[in-house]
């Protein structure tokens, strides 16, 4: 490529690597990139806040396995972007963050809006760098994409000073390289086969990596051949269909739960695609005595409560298939699995006809699950509702209930729903939000309306920070500074151009959800929730005995 600016070469290299979208907010120090976008195949999505842009790019990456870019200017734009970048990185979602920066001629002194962004972004990315020479762009972009998408995926960051962005650049995009999928060594496979065959009560813990690897089919085949029950992390939900008799649903709440009995029963825990941030091993292997068979793309983190007796690393699909092929069929005596499933499912169904108001969390989830198809996508924000959704919204497909459980940032659901609907326009997409998290990124409703994306916002309204109240009551039996005021959410939604429904009785919810699905336009449903159920759940979990 001859006679192009650095910014133009940057976009050409991103296009060459398959990047299709860039989300962001324009600024002074990224004007060369903004101008170059006018002639680029990359579609730029203007967002209302940089954090929302990064949340959108992260959700896009999680659902597609491909990185989208997110763009911010220097200073406050870059620091706003950082929360969403860190969220994607801890959720192992591929993402490329690009920040504008002050010109190189003022890096040596205190200068307007200038911070060392490479140093600031280093802890929250897999890799990052600053462009100091136009000729390095092809190498930087290819390395950024490969780092972002390599196992485990995550966020990368490119810092582009404004003077470098406008310089003439030579060079061309590099040929795209394909990664070979690795297979575990024969020695490790044989060790894994031996430890499985010796085990009488194995339990599989399915994590986020099952969805990333597209390994649900291979996992099911292993489960059915060896008759092994499966429990999911919050982010691993859907690896097994919710009606599968060996599906022990979801683990992740601290303290006892029905599945606690399963972990205590196990003499081997097989973790598949498990990320430490999803569910600390101390919570489910408190003595560190139960051996672990670690099946993942990378070696296990060192953790005293995660004794990885055998590690099978490489392509999860390939290695699961190899294990299944080499194992003989087996039937195990695990009556306790049926008991755990029955109790967990009955807890949800018992509230389906509840007419108490405000609406019980269990009732909201039961109605939502009844209305949505198995392929539809729910994105949970962070708050008390997240704990209920994680525990009780059961799924049959990976990536149909998206829960951020690494950084676990509030505000992720509305921007995430925008990106999810872009990626899966044929599916209903619902953002489940608390009123606290919704107010943090609710301005992205305008983005959804502008893009004509029929997302549904299901707002659980309690006029306070419900999850923090829950923790305060557990620890101190009183609350401190968790209440706030709210606008009229229905009028706010209408001002943005959404259809809005208010729930005044539990019987209103299911019809409102059905109508929202049928309308095919952006909708907000304002549903008061009774979080008095939080402490009741705490007491119930404390009473569970194995």
In tens, the pLDDT along 212-251 reads: 999 999 999 999 999 999 999 999 999 999 999 999 898 8
Domain contains 448: yes
Nearest to 337 by CA among 251, 262, 236, 225: 262
Query: How confident is the model over 290-302, as pLDDT tens digits?
Result: 999 999 999 998 8
Domain contains 285: yes
Q: How far is 81 from 73, CA to CA, in rounded Å?
A: 9
Say yes or no: 30 and 165 in one domain. yes
Give the pLDDT mean for 511-528: 97
Domain contains 175: no
The three-state DSSP-derived secondary structure of 278-313 is HCCHHHHCCCCCCCEEEEECCCCCCCCCCCEEEEEE
Say yes or no: 355 and 379 in one domain. yes
Say yes or no: 14 and 152 in one domain. yes
Band the pLDDT of 470: cuts 50, 70, 90.
confident
Give the pLDDT mean for 111-129: 93
Q: Is the pLDDT of residue 519 over 60?
A: yes
The pLDDT of residue 418:
98
Q: Is the pLDDT of residue 538 over 80?
A: no
The pLDDT of residue 115:
87
Say yes or no: 205 and 327 in one domain. yes
Say yes or no: 466 and 377 in one domain. yes
Both tokens assigned to 327: 């194992």
- What's 207's domain CATH number? 3.40.50.1220
Say yes or no: 134 and 69 in one domain. yes
Give the pLDDT mean for 434-463: 97
Number of domains, the chain: 3
Band the pLDDT of 357: cuts 50, 70, 90.
very high
Kindly list the distances between the CA atom of residue 296 and the CA atoms of 72, 151, 273, 305, 308, in Å, as whole numbers in the listed order. Answer: 34, 9, 5, 17, 12
Band the pLDDT of 541: cuts 50, 70, 90.
low
CA 85, 89, 90, 94 torsion-angle sign: positive
The pLDDT of residue 546:
45
Contact assessment for residue 363 and residue 229, using Cβ atoms and an 8 Å cutoff? no
Q: Is the pLDDT of residue 526 over 50?
A: yes
Q: How far is 268 from 198, CA to CA, in rounded Å?
A: 9
pLDDT greater at residue 375 or residue 544: 375
Q: Is the pLDDT of residue 183 over 60?
A: yes
Query: How confident is the model over 478-489, as pLDDT tens digits?
Result: 999 999 999 999
Say yes or no: 94 and 145 in one domain. yes
Instruction: Enumerate residues 6+ apart whose C-beta is below 8 A from 342.
Output: none
Say yes or no: 312 and 369 in one domain. no
Does the pTM of the predicted model rise above 0.85? yes
Give the pLDDT mean for 420-430: 98
Q: Is the pLDDT of residue 475 over 60?
A: yes
Give the pLDDT mean for 144-154: 94
Q: How far is 52 from 441, CA to CA, in rounded Å?
A: 6
Q: Which residues sit opposite 70 in a β-bridge?
A: 23, 97
Q: How far is 450 from 498, CA to CA, in rounded Å?
A: 11
Say yes or no: 279 and 393 in one domain. no
What are residue 349's phi and psi, to 5 degrees? Answer: -65, -25
Q: Which residues of 406-418 are buried (b: 16+ CB within 10 A; e: fewer)?
A: bbbbbbbbbbbbb
Band the pLDDT of 544: cuts 50, 70, 90.
very low
| Whole-number percent of the chain with pLDDT over 90 | 76
Say yes or no: 264 and 318 in one domain. yes
Kindly list the distances between the CA atom of residue 87 and the CA atoms of 164, 237, 347, 404, in Å, as whole numbers in the listed order. Answer: 29, 19, 32, 8
Domain contains 180: no
| Whole-number percent of the chain with pLDDT over 70 | 97
Domain contains 176: no
Q: How far is 545 from 261, CA to CA, in rounded Å?
A: 8
- Summary mean pLDDT of the chain: 92
Contact assessment for residue 394 and residue 251, using Cβ atoms and an 8 Å cutoff? no
Say yes or no: 104 and 252 in one domain. no
Which of residues 314, 339, 364 is at a domain's end? Answer: 339
Instruction: Tell me the residue range of the domain where 503 lies.
Output: 350-543
CA 214, 218, 223, 224 torsion-angle sign: positive
Both tokens assigned to 214: 């597209």
What are residue 432's phi and psi, to 5 degrees? Answer: -95, 115
What is residue 217's three-state secondary structure? Answer: helix
What is residue 526's three-state secondary structure? Answer: strand
Q: Is the pLDDT of residue 343 over 90?
A: no
Domain contains 194: yes
The pLDDT of residue 1:
63
Q: How far is 444 from 418, CA to CA, in rounded Å?
A: 8
Q: How far is 292 from 317, CA to CA, in rounded Å?
A: 19
Beta strand 4-5 pairing with 168-169: antiparallel
Give the pLDDT mean for 372-376: 97
What is residue 533's three-state secondary structure? Answer: helix
What is residue 460's three-state secondary structure? Answer: strand
What is residue 41's three-state secondary structure? Answer: coil
The pLDDT of residue 130:
97
Say yes or no: 156 and 14 in one domain. yes
Kindly list the distances between the CA atom of residue 341 and the CA atoms of 169, 250, 338, 348, 410, in Å, as whole numbers in the listed order. Answer: 61, 10, 5, 11, 30
Instruction: Enumerate residues 6+ apart whose C-beta is below 8 A from 471.
Output: none
Nearest to 66 by CA among 149, 2, 144: 149
Q: Is the pLDDT of residue 180 over 70?
A: no
The pLDDT of residue 545:
44
**What residue has token string 């989300």?**
23
- What's 526's domain CATH number? 3.40.50.970
Q: What angle do CA 62, 89, 467 make, to 5 degrees?
A: 85
Band the pLDDT of 540: cuts 50, 70, 90.
low
The pLDDT of residue 181:
66
pLDDT greater at residue 346 or residue 144: 144
The pLDDT of residue 268:
95
Q: How far is 55 from 81, CA to CA, in rounded Å?
A: 9
């Amino acid at each position: 490529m001859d006679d192009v600016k650095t910014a133009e070469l940057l976009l050409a290299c991103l296009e060459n690597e398959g990047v299709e979208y860039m989300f962001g907010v324009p600024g002074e120090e990224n004007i060369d990139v903004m101008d170059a976008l006018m002639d680029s195949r990359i579609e730029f999505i203007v967002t209302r806040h940089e954090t929302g842009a990064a949340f959108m790019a992260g959700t896009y990456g999680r659902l597609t396995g491909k990185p989208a870019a997110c763009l911010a200017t220097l200073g406050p734009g870059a620091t706003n972007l950082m929360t969403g970048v860190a969220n994607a990185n801890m959720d192992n979602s591929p993402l490329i963050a690009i920040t504008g920066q002050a010109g190189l001629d003022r890096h040596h002194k205190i200068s307007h809006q200038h911070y060392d962004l490479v140093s600031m972004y280093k802890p929250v990315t897999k890799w990052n760098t600053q462009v100091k020479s136009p000729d390095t762009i092809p190498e930087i972009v290819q390395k950024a994409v490969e780092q972002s998408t390599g196992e485990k995926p995550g966020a990368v960051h490119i810092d582009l000073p404004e003077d470098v962005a406008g310089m003439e650049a030579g060079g061309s995009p590099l040929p795209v390289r394909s990664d070979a999928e690795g297979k575990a060594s024969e020695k490790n496979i044989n060790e894994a086969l031996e430890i499985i065959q010796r085990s009488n009560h194995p339990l599989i813990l399915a994590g986020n990596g099952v969805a990333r690897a597209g390994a649900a089919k291979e996992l099911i085949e292993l489960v059915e051949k060896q008759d092994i029950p499966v429990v999911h992390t919050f982010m691993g939900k859907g690896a097994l269909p919710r009606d599968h008799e060996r599906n022990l649903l979801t683990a992740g709440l601290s303290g006892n739960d029905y599945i606690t009995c399963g972990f205590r029963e196990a003499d081997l825990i097989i973790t598949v695609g498990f990320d430490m941030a999803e569910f600390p091993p101390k919570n489910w292997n408190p003595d560190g005595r139960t051996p672990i068979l670690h099946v993942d793309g990378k070696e296990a983190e060192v953790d005293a409560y995660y004794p990885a007796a055998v590690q099978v690393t490489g392509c999860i699909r390939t290695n699961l298939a190899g294990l299944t092929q080499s194992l003989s069929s087996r039937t195990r005596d695990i009556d306790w699995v049926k008991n755990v499933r029955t109790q967990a499912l009955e807890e949800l169904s018992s509230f389906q006809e509840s007419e108490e108001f405000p609406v019980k969390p269990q009732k909201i989830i039961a109605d939502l699950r009844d209305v949505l198809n198995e392929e539809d996508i729910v994105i949970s924000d962070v708050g008390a509702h997240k704990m209920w959704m994680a525990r009780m919204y059961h799924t049959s497909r990976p990536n149909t209930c998206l829960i951020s459980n690494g950084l676990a940032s509030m505000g992720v659901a509305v921007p995430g729903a925008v990106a999810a609907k872009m990626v899966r326009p044929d599916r209903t997409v619902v953002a489940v939000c608390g009123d606290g998290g919704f107010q943090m990124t609710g301005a992205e409703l305008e983005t959804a309306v502008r893009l004509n994306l029929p997302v549904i916002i299901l707002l659980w309204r309690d006029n306070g920070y419900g999850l923090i109240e829950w923790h305060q009551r557990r620890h101190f039996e009183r609350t401190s500074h968790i209440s706030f005021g709210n606008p009229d959410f229905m009028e706010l939604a209408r001002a943005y151009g959404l259809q809005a429904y208010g729930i005044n009785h539990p019987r209103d919810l299911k019809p409102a959800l059905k109508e929202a699905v049928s309308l095919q336009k952006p909708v907000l449903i304002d549903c008061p929730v009774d979080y008095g159920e939080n402490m009741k759940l705490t007491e119930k979990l404390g009473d569970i005995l194995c």
